[in-house]
């Protein structure tokens, strides 16, 4: 729960990670990191634990997100059968037939029996902009170890949106995005974001006064403590962390963050994590789409509206008893014209 701080033996992640290579997957880390990953991917050993071949395929692999970010699956515990096993508190694994496992998992999801899903766990290594990290960390049910800028120096990497993601403030929704900016305004915004990030990073480096081997860059200066210098960085600077969570809370995160209302930048991570979910626990993932992601929560008044419509009544927004916004949302869910 405290800052993770380290004694003297640590070799921080190499600043070389900032050096891009041609391969989209591999330019997000140094050659050294790349080699370490390859070593782990080549070394399989036997285990008696539940194992998921489709997830083993992408284990340790950085899955690219945004311009410099990634999601890496670093470890996992359990599979679809482990959900069944926990629900039954049984000695063996799952049921005799895959179809029974599926029926039970869908039943559990539908009836909000959440504890069996908590019996699976996944651990990710994520690289993400700080402003995304600040939204993400609000999910308190995970374990987190973040790269410490008190202890180490952050890489010179910051998020710059692609032009199609530079959008105006929504006029309908105080927290959403509206139309994409005109090319002229978009270019000016992008230039500002880039130059401000570059300048504040350059000043961060100057304040640190840190040479390539850790010696002072300028021997005549003391250099500012890392824990202070970091305050000069902008919120689009990339950070990274290890993040571990159980399957129930993983899906809860995805329900909120793979949603249209979530900010695009965190949704980009959630979308990649949905693919991870499909590989890891395909049956639970299917149930999740059916009973959560694709489901609709209809309010008590909304259910009355549906009943009246089914009875042939010509219900309107005014006679529905719903607020205008609720009416529009219900009509959208029912595939009807709100007018």
Q: Catalytic residue numbers?
A: 257
From 63, 65, 226, 283, residue interacting with a second copy (rule: CB under 8 A): 226
Our CB check for a second copy shows the closer of 24 and 137 to be: 137
Place of tokens 């900032």: 18
d(CA 292, CA 259): 11
- Single out the residue of 88, 81, 120, 116 nearest to residue 102, CA to CA: 81
Task: For the CB of residue 275, give the shortest distance to a second copy in the complex, in Å.
Answer: 19
d(CA 276, CA 243): 14
Our CB check for a second copy shows the closer of 123 and 271 to be: 123
Interface with a second copy in residues 109-138 (CB under 8 A):
110-116, 118-119, 121, 123, 125, 129-131, 133-135, 137-138
- Single out the residue of 256, 236, 93, 231 nearest to residue 165, CA to CA: 236
Q: Confirm or reject binding of residue 319 to a second copy (CB under 8 A).
A: no
Site string for a second copy, 275-294 (x = CB under 8 A): --------------xxx-xx
Task: For the CB of residue 93, give the shortest distance to a second copy in the complex, in Å.
Answer: 6
Our CB check for a second copy shows the closer of 233 and 284 to be: 233
The site for a second copy, by CB under 8 A, has a size of 158
41: which residues sit within 8 A by CB, 6+ positions away?
59, 60, 61
Task: For the CB of residue 200, give the shortest distance to a second copy in the complex, in Å.
Answer: 5
Burial per residue of 94-124, b for 16 or more beta-carbon CB atoms within 10 angstroms, e otherwise: bbeeeeebbebbbebbeeeeeebbbbbbbbb
15: which residues sit within 8 A by CB, 6+ positions away?
153, 155, 156
From 63, 80, 124, 240, residue interacting with a second copy (rule: CB under 8 A): 240
From 297, 314, 318, 337, residue interacting with a second copy (rule: CB under 8 A): 297
Q: Confirm or reject binding of residue 169 to a second copy (CB under 8 A).
A: yes
Task: For the CB of residue 22, give the shortest distance to a second copy in the complex, in Å.
Answer: 20
Our CB check for a second copy shows the closer of 78 and 272 to be: 78
Site string for a second copy, 56-75 (x = CB under 8 A): x--xx-------------xx
**Residue 76 near residue 55, CB atoms below 8 Å:** yes
**DSSP at 232:** G
Q: What are phi and psi of 164, to 5 degrees?
A: -70, -10
Task: For the CB of residue 315, give the shortest distance to a second copy in the complex, in Å.
Answer: 11
**Residue 52 near residue 79, CB atoms below 8 Å:** yes
d(CA 97, CA 213): 60
Q: Confirm or reject binding of residue 317 to a second copy (CB under 8 A).
A: no
Find the length of the chain. 339
Q: Confirm or reject binding of residue 89 to a second copy (CB under 8 A).
A: yes
From 100, 187, 198, 275, residue interacting with a second copy (rule: CB under 8 A): 100
Task: For the CB of residue 259, give the shortest distance to a second copy in the complex, in Å.
Answer: 9
Which span sits near a second copy by CB under 8 A: 18-26, 101-109, 267-275, 276-284?
Answer: 101-109
Q: What torsion, rounded to 10 degrees, do the Cα atoms 132, 137, 139, 141 define? A: 140
From 163, 307, 313, 338, residue interacting with a second copy (rule: CB under 8 A): 307
From 71, 108, 254, 284, residue interacting with a second copy (rule: CB under 8 A): 108
Interface with a second copy in residues 16-45 (CB under 8 A):
29, 33, 36-37, 39-41, 43-45
d(CA 114, CA 120): 11
Handedness of CA 139, 144, 149, 153 (dihedral sign): negative
């Amino acid at each position: 729960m405290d800052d993770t701080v380290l004694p003297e033996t640590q070799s921080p992640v190499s600043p070389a990670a900032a050096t891009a290579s041609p391969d989209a997957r591999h330019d997000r880390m140094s050659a050294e990191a790349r080699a370490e990953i390859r070593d782990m991917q080549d070394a399989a050993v036997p285990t008696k634990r539940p194992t998921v071949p489709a997830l083993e395929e992408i284990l340790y692999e950085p899955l690219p997100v945004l311009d410099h970010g990634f999601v890496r699956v670093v470890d996992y515990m359990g599979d679809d059968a482990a959900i069944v096993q926990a629900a039954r508190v049984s000695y063996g694994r799952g049921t005799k037939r895959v179809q029974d496992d599926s029926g039970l998992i869908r039943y559990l999801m539908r009836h909000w029996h959440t504890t069996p899903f908590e019996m699976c766990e996944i651990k990710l290594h994520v690289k993400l902009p700080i402003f995304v990290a600040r939204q993400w960390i609000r999910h308190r049910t995970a374990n987190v170890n973040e790269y410490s800028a008190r202890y180490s120096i952050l890489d010179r990497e910051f998020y710059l949106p692609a032009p199609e993601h530079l959008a105006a403030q929504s006029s309908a929704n105080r927290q959403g995005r509206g139309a994409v900016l005109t090319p002229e305004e978009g270019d000016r915004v992008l230039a500002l974001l880039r130059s401000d990030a570059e300048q504040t990073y350059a000043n961060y480096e100057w304040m640190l006064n840190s040479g390539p081997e850790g010696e002072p860059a300028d021997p005549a200066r003391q250099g500012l403590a890392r824990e202070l210098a970091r305050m000069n960085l902008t919120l689009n600077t990339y950070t990274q962390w290890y993040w571990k969570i159980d399957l129930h809370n993983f899906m809860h995160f995805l329900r909120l963050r793979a949603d249209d209302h979530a900010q695009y930048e965190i949704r980009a991570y959630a979308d990649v994590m949905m693919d991870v979910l499909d590989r890891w626990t395909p049956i639970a993932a299917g149930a999740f789409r059916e009973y959560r992601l694709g489901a609709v929560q209809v309010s008590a008044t909304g259910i009355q509206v549906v009943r009246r419509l089914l009875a042939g009544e010509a219900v309107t927004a005014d006679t529905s008893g719903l607020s205008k916004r609720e009416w529009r949302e219900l009509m959208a869910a029912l595939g009807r014209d709100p007018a």
